[in-house]
Amino acid sequence: MILTLAFVLTCGRVSAGEHWSAEDGDTLWHDKKRIQLLGFDAPKLSQACFDAAGKIWPCGKYARDHIQHLIASGDVSCIVEGKDGYNDDLGVCFVAGIDLGRDLVKHGLAVADTRYLAEEQEARIAKRNL
């Protein structure tokens, strides 16, 4: 428990939009620190996808914009669970109690890789985006 609390990263009382930004659907920046979100894979910013009717849509941009909208709406907090090969933080981030990864997968803007499998199944049944 103490170890987990030691890894919690927050931006404090200031507006989240002032210090946080989304590089793409699964990568955040906090000032000059990069945080790779765990448990799902979102399309890269320039990636396009096909919908059920075969129409192309900019899924990477949609995923990034969805996260950007969420982090602009409140204080961001992250539980950092480790580092990647580039020494970037790996973790799960929240805004006002909303798990960003869970929300993206639930809306069909990302696919689950280790977490959020129930949310992915729900999105697939509802035929949401990805």
What's the mean pLDDT in 20-37? 94
Ranges of each domain in the chain:
2-125
Core vs surface per residue 58-93: b (16+ CB within 10 A) or e = ebbbbbbebbbebbbebbbbbbbeeeeeeebbebbb
Residue pair 10/75 in contact by the 8 Å Cβ criterion = yes
Position 35 confidence tier, pLDDT thresholds 50, 70, 90: very high
Give the per-residue pLDDT at 19: 86
- Is the confidence at residue 1, as pLDDT, over 80? no
Give the per-residue pLDDT at 17: 41
pTM for the predicted model, two decimal places: 0.81
Rounded Cα distance between 112 and 29, Å, is 21
Rounded Cα distance between 108 and 62, Å, is 10
- Is the confidence at residue 26, as pLDDT, over 50? yes
Q: What is the DSSP annotation of the chain?
A: -HHHHHTEEE-TTS-HHHHEEEEETTEEEETTEEEEEPSEE---TT--EE-TTS-EE-HHHHHHHHHHHHHHTS-EEEEEEEE-TTS-EEEEEEETTEEHHHHHHHTTSSEESSS-HHHHHHHHHTT---
Provide, rounded to the nearest whole percent, the portion of the chain with pLDDT above 90. Answer: 74
Rounded Cα distance between 61 and 97, Å, is 24
- Is the confidence at residue 128, as pLDDT, over 80? yes
Give the per-residue pLDDT at 78: 96
Give the per-residue pLDDT at 12: 36
- Across the chain, mean pLDDT equals 86
CATH T-level fold of 2-125:
OB fold (Dihydrolipoamide Acetyltransferase, E2P) (2.40.50)
Nearest Cα to Cα of residue 22 among 95, 71, 57, 59? 71
What's the mean pLDDT in 81-106? 96
Give the per-residue pLDDT at 124: 92
What's the mean pLDDT in 41-47? 94
